Amino acid sequence: MHIVVLAKAVPNTTGVERFEPDRSLDRVAAEPILNPNDEYALELALRLAEIDPGIMITMLTMGPETSWPGLTKGLAVGAQAGVLVSDPALAGACALSTARVLAAALDGMEYDLVLAGSDTSDGKAGVIGAAVAALLDIPFITHAGELTLRDGAVEGRRTRDDGYEVLAAPLPALVTVTQEVGEMRYPTLRGIMGSRSRMPVALSLDDIGLSAADVGGAVATTLVVDVDPPAPRPPARVVSGDAAEVADEVVRFLVDRRFIP
Amino acid sequence: MSGEIWIIGDLDEERLRPSSAGVATLARQVADVGGLGVEGIVLGARPAGAAAELAAYVPHVLSVSIGPDDGYLSPTALARALADLVHERGPRYVVVAATPGGKELAGALSASTGWGVLGNAVDIGWDDGPIVHTLVFRDDTRVRSAFTSGHGIVTVQPNITSPIALDAPGLVETLAVADARTGARVRRLELVRGDAPPSVESARVIVAGGAGVGSAEAWTVVEQLAEALHGAVGSSRPPVDRHWVPYSQQVGQTGKTVRPDLYVALGISGEVQHRVGMRMARTVVSVNSDPAAPIGGFADLVAVGDLHEIVPAIIERIRRAEGGAA
Can you tell me the ipTM of this complex? 0.88
B145 plus B16 within the same structural domain: yes
What is the spatial distance between Cα B281 and Cα B294, in angstroms, rounded to a whole number?
A: 16
What is the spatial distance between Cα A235 and Cα B243, in angstroms, rounded to a whole number?
A: 34
Is B88 in a helix, a strand, or coil? helix
* Cβ atoms B74, B44 nearer than 8 A: no
**What is the percent of chain A with per-residue pLDDT over 90, rounded to a whole number?**
67
Among A145, A155, A236, the residue with its CB nearest the CB of B301 is A236
Query: From the CB of residue B111, how many other CB atoms can be counted at a distance below 10 Å?
Result: 26
Please check whether residue B182 touches A, CB under 8 A. Answer: no
Please check whether residue A258 touches B, CB under 8 A. Answer: no
Query: From the CB of residue A212, how many other CB atoms can be counted at a distance below 10 Å?
Result: 15
Q: In chain B, which residue's Cα lies nearest the Cα of A16?
A: B137
| Number of domains making up chain B | 2
**CATH number of the structural domain spanning residue B167:** 3.40.50.620
Do the Cβ atoms of B272 and A14 come within 8 Å?
yes
Do the Cβ atoms of A221 and B79 come within 8 Å?
no
Could you tell me if residue B185 is inside a domain? Answer: no
Smallest CA-to-CA distance from B212 within B141, B162, B268 is with B268
**CATH number of the structural domain spanning residue B237:** 3.40.50.1220
Task: Give the closest-approach CA distance of B73 to chain A in angstroms.
Answer: 11
pLDDT attached to residue A30: 59
> What are the pLDDT digits (tens) for A215-244?
999 999 999 999 987 777 788 999 999 999
Do the Cβ atoms of B107 and A126 come within 8 Å?
yes
Could you tell me if residue B136 is inside a domain? Answer: yes
Do the Cβ atoms of A250 and B115 come within 8 Å?
no
pTM across the whole model = 0.87
B212 plus B161 within the same structural domain: no
pLDDT attached to residue B237: 94
Could you tell me if residue B83 is inside a domain? Answer: yes
B263 plus B146 within the same structural domain: no
The phi, psi pair for B287, rounded to 5°, reads: -115, 115
Please check whether residue A130 touches B, CB under 8 A. Answer: yes
B153 plus B237 within the same structural domain: no
Domains of chain A from N-terminus onward: 2-219 (3.40.50.620)
Among A134, A135, A251, the residue with its CB nearest the CB of B318 is A251
> Residue A121: what residue type?
S
DSSP label at residue B250? B
B262 plus B319 within the same structural domain: yes
Confidence of residue B127 (pLDDT cuts 50, 70, 90): very high
Do the Cβ atoms of A239 and B304 come within 8 Å?
yes
Task: Tell whether the model's pLDDT for residue B139 goes beyond 70.
Answer: no
Task: Tell whether the model's pLDDT for residue B317 goes beyond 90.
Answer: yes
* Cβ atoms B269, B302 nearer than 8 A: no
What is the spatial distance between Cα B206 and Cα B191, in angstroms, rounded to a whole number?
A: 28
- HSE (side-chain half, CA atoms, 13 Å) at B283: 16
Smallest CA-to-CA distance from B45 within B23, B67, B22 is with B67
Task: Tell whether the model's pLDDT for residue B55 goes beyond 80.
Answer: yes
Query: Cα separations (Å) of A243 from A46, A233, B260?
Result: 48, 27, 26
Is A37 in a helix, a strand, or coil? helix
Give the structural domain span for B209: 205-325
B287 plus B233 within the same structural domain: yes
Do the Cβ atoms of A130 and B299 come within 8 Å?
no
Confidence of residue B326 (pLDDT cuts 50, 70, 90): very low
